């Protein structure tokens, strides 16, 4: 239990249903849907669509979506991969012939086909009671009538001003007064509202064919892109089985590659070899072990993970106990492992939504446009801000994540679900681009090793060992920072806090739900 003398958040408790999002309006929209008879999935889609308008730096219909769904909170879990693919004309040779050795992050080449709308449609078909026609209404209203900018969104808007000023159509759509929005501003996006209306009226096909798709293709080809109408028309969502591992008596589930959830599972496998309870949650030792586990797991990800539709990914081998044994056995508390640095691009903007409804349908749901404000390319007429997820591709023939026609890039977004004896215990996620596997491991070990409630676990100070530097939040105590330096860590303070996060704990015996939401964002958990 938190000390009420100090600033903080209480956990949120309810019996019927619960949602946790990064914005209060989205949480309220989800609750409204469930009160009207909708499922957890209906609620998640309504919340996500709204977030695509009111949290534009993080998500939108120009991005991708992954989800884990467990009907009734028991039995089979379905993993949905709503990530988009590279254009069919995108070959490594095409780029190398033009001496392009990495994908420019604000170019048309960084834009993979947006997968979100098809993912929402697919998940609703399988697990929803409502359609896009009703669930998009809160988003339409916000776009057409306006929404009030929240503080964290304003913070990100200001930080991305130069990017938006130099983007394609971003000045017109996202800098209406020639400067970043500030907290309390009212923003309207009538073009996006019109687009959402068309999708609500005509379904997912309105996005992937016809005038909307044509405008996206025209915009992208006008600035050098390789996209075609056929690329949009061919897009589809994959429904598959999750992958998992066991930690502290709980099964922990992730979407399979090309999702990067396997990175988090490898981290848990490494951390399971150590007794974290011997160390305080805020201690040099705990932060050091987390960093070493992350360094091994991220190195693995860069070496072995790509789109399994085009490259072999040995999931079973990577999740085996003996994987990376030579590194694990060399972990010491007084020095760093000698490992190569891996440096995929950071992309810290995402929304994560978790929902549990009255029937205990469980939804772990994540949607992203990759980097903050994505590619900084807005389609000419539709108001759609396009992701730059293809910026995660390598242009290195033979690399598992090398760009190729119709290939899905190695992702960063990972919804997670913890179960026990086949029953859902906690759908959860941590936003923040490359931080997500570390963030999820941090939150989960806070709960299972240190006995934190979901809110305490989310609040706990964070760090990310990345590109050879330990990036630490200002809340990490100075003595821990100094101790990490003595071991050999290079440390730095992060400009923005690391990620965000939401979680819902399900108590089957009491019949209650407990929610938490990250104070690093503007959102909250709500239940009834």
What residues act catalytically? 350
Taking phi over 0 as left and psi of -120 to 50 as alpha, with beta for the rest, 200 belongs to: alpha
Strand 491-493 and strand 469-472: the pairing is: parallel
Q: Please list, residue by residue across 49-87, b when 16 or more beta carbons sit within 10 angstroms of its beta carbon and e when fewer do.
A: bbbbbbbbbbbbbbbbbbbbbbbebeeebbbbbbbbbbb
- CA distance linking residue 19 with residue 306, whole number of Å: 32
- CA distance linking residue 250 with residue 189, whole number of Å: 44
List, in sequence order, the alpha helices (H) in 324-382.
Answer: 325-328
Number of residues assigned to the chain? 528
Q: Is 144 helix (H, G, I), strand (E, B) or coil?
A: helix
Is residue 114 within 8 A of residue 386, CB to CB? The reply is yes
What does the DSSP assignment read for 213-236?
HHHHHHHHHHTT----HHHHHT--
Inter-CA distances, 164 with 30, 46, 170, 407, Å: 30, 27, 5, 28
Inter-CA distances, 377 with 309, 382, 403, 418, 471, Å: 28, 12, 20, 37, 29
- CA distance linking residue 494 with residue 471, whole number of Å: 6
For the chain, counts of helices (H) and of strands (E): 20, 21
């Amino acid at each position: 239990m938190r000390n009420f003398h100090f600033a903080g958040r209480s956990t949120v408790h309810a019996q019927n249903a619960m949602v946790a999002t990064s914005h209060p309006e989205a949480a309220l929209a989800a609750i409204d849907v469930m009160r009207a008879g909708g499922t957890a999935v209906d609620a998640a889609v309504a919340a996500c669509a709204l977030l695509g308008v009111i949290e534009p730096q993080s998500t939108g219909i120009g991005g991708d979506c992954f989800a884990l769904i467990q009907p009734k909170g028991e039995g089979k879990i379905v993993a949905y991969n709503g990530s988009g693919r590279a254009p069919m004309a995108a070959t490594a040779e095409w780029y190398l012939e033009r001496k392009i050795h990495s994908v420019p992050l604000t170019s048309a080449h960084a834009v993979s086909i947006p997968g979100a709308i098809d993912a929402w449609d697919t998940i609703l078909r399988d697990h929803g009671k409502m359609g896009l026609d009703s669930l998009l209404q809160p988003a339409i209203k916000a776009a057409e009538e306006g929404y009030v900018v929240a503080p964290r969104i304003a913070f990100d808007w200001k930080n991305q001003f130069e990017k938006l000023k130099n983007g394609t159509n971003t000045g017109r759509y996202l800098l209406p007064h020639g400067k970043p929005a500030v907290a309390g501003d009212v923003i309207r996006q009538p073009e996006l509202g019109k687009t959402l209306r068309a999708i609500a009226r005509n379904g997912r096909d309105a996005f992937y064919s016809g005038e909307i798709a044509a405008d996206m293709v025209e915009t992208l080809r006008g600035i050098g892109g390789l996209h075609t109408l056929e690329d949009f028309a061919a897009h589809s969502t994959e429904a598959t089985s999750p992958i998992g591992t066991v930690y502290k008596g709980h099964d922990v589930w992730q979407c399979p590659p090309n999702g990067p959830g396997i990175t988090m599972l490898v981290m848990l496998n490494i951390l399971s070899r150590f007794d974290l309870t011997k160390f305080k949650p805020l201690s040099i030792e705990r932060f050091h072990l987390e960093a070493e586990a992350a360094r091994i797991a991220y190195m693995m990800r860069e070496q072995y993970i790509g789109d399994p539709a085009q490259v072999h990914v040995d999931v079973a081998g990577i999740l085996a106990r003996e994987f990376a044994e030579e590194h694990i056995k060399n972990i010491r508390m007084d020095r760093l492992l000698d490992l190569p640095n891996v440096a995929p691009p950071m992309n810290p903007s995402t929304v994560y939504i978790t929902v549990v409804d009255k029937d205990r349908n469980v939804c772990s749901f994540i949607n992203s446009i990759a980097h903050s404000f994505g590619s900084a390319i807005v389609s000419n007429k539709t108001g759609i801000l396009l992701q730059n997820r293809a910026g995660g591709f390598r242009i290195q023939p033979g690399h598992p994540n090398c760009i190729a026609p119709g290939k899905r890039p190695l992702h960063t977004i990972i919804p997670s679900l913890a179960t026990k004896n086949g029953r859902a215990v906690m759908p959860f996620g941590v936003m923040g681009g490359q931080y997500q596997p570390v963030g999820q491991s941090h939150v989960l070990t806070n709960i299972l090793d240190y006995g934190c409630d979901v809110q305490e676990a989310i609040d706990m100070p964070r760090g990310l060992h990345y590109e050879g530097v330990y990036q630490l939040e200002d809340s990490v105590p100075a003595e821990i920072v100094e101790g990490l330096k003595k071991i050999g860590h290079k440390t730095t303070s992060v400009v923005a806090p690391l990620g965000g996060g939401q979680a819902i704990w399900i108590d089957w015996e009491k019949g209650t739900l407990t929610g938490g939401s990250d104070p690093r964002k503007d959102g909250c958990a709500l239940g009834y």
